[in-house]
A and B are shown apart, each in its own frame.
Chain A
Amino acid sequence: MADSAIAIHNITKRFGDHTAVDDVTLTVPRGSVYGFIGPNGSGKTTTIRMILNILLPDRGDITVLGESQTRAARDRVGYLPEERGLYRKMKVRRLLRYYGALKGAHGAVVDKEIDFWLQRLGLAEWANHRIDALSKGMSQKVQFIATVVSRPELVILDEPFSGLDPVNADVLRDAVLELRARGTTIVFSTHDMSAAERLCDRIFMIFKGKKVLDGTLDEIQSAYGFDTVRLRTDGGRAALGGLDEIVSINDHGNLQEVRVNGDPQAFLQRLVTRTAVRHFEITRPSLHDIFVRIARPEVS
């Protein structure tokens, strides 16, 4: 396991009668971008907190960056929690220095990183402003810098793009790619399935405390086969009513993602008798679709 950044073996965590994480095993290779997905309350944050040693597992063990006592690796791990927390009255540079110091990083290294990232994320002129003077997007970028300012080997990002406008989301996504280029291992917890598809080398899904997916996107999609048709028709969603082959419809408005039971060609033949078909693509299910199939089986 020397090449793994995180090695989790059969961990279980209970809160009273509720089992938040149930016998989960997972290996995150060094240098990879690993997506953690799962519905709210499925055990993602609890798993992350155990990796960070904020919580201790009731059973099982966790090795982080080769250290079985995860506390020992804490200084080499950067954590961006879903709920942002910054000292509002502190000035940006002082706050970043403080967070760097808490990670045991050398002052000169921290200063160099602060300058680099402030420049990179377009915040250089805000270095001496108080946090409460920043916009939400700027605060989020500062929080990101606080996470990486000590040059951690492993970065855990919990919903890093939530609440950001597309421009700032792109800036932050590029920053994540920059980290990957440096060789940093990234655990990326998100509800944004398209972002997970685009950024992650591997994806882990937890549902009701149990691991339900773990692999590359290709491996995961292959397991579900080519049972999905992406189509655009003049009739839209209404034109699909009453077709027996359809198992589920994921309606995107102008585009429908349809899970088909049976031969897609036969389905196409029936469809053209109802409406003009502009686009018909037989494909594997998207991560979003897979997520929904697992998390909402009663719907799908």
Chain B
Amino acid sequence: MRNAFADELTKLGDEDARVVMLSGDIGNRLFDKFKARHAQRFFNCGVAEANMMGVAAGMAMNGLRPVAYTITPFITTRCLEQIRTDVCYHEAPVTIVAVGAGLAYAGLGPTHHACEDIAFLRSLPNMVVICPGDSFEVRAALRACLQQDRPVYIRLGKKGEPVVHSGPLADFAIGKAITMARGSDACLLSTGNMLPEATEAAHALELQGISTEVVSFHTVKPLDEACLTDVFARFPLVATIEEHSRIGGFGAAVAEWLIDNSVRPRQFIRFGTPDAFFKKSGEQDYAREVLGLSAPQIAAKVADALRQTRQ
């Protein structure tokens, strides 16, 4: 996702003279192309995220379209007040791009994990929250963000994730979930970098004769209410899947929507991380396994739940 972001940003920088790139001293060589073509629109803001966010807001207030980028905790919780006050309160069209969603940087330890950012960001007025599911969604989301005028938070994984979509997404729209596969027994609503796991889980369920729909729910705010209305009406079981705390994340947003709209789900499972720091060393796949977020574990839990209702 990271390389797709840098590549698409370079293209957008070519097309739109308002696009400015701000980096928090990461992405060594990642932005070489952008820098080579638009040296006067690239700023390494150093390890000073509060200032970077304020600078981005100041630029946006004067008609530019800054994209501010660094590792997730540092560009969210570290400078949350600047995001809230400088960006959201001023309705400054800053695109905040975080790399290392959830446990993407599991091996770096909890300082670099990001399982709370969706909760913080989606509670801020005027903020749009997008969690792309693969590199095609990253490109489409970035392009869509720079074509509208609101603050946006884009939550990237890392690099080298599986690509799920078969090609560029011409009709991508912010707030419009994408149905990846049709089914009739269970529906998996996946956001962000869990899309490959969700797809694999659906495949495993199909092999057991459970017809499974997969939706890439890339925009957590605003929610695609039409999609939610549809899937909760059609499916006996709906699951949300995210690499984020079950407190305040995508699943929580859907739960809020259910309550607020008096929608009674028949079965609703929220896959996410627990209310705890993940302190053990190990990479993302290991962490997912420990936390029950691997594709086989998701499939098993969904299949069990369906079996119980059928008994």
* Physical interaction between A and B: no
Interface positions of B (Cβ within 8 A of A): none
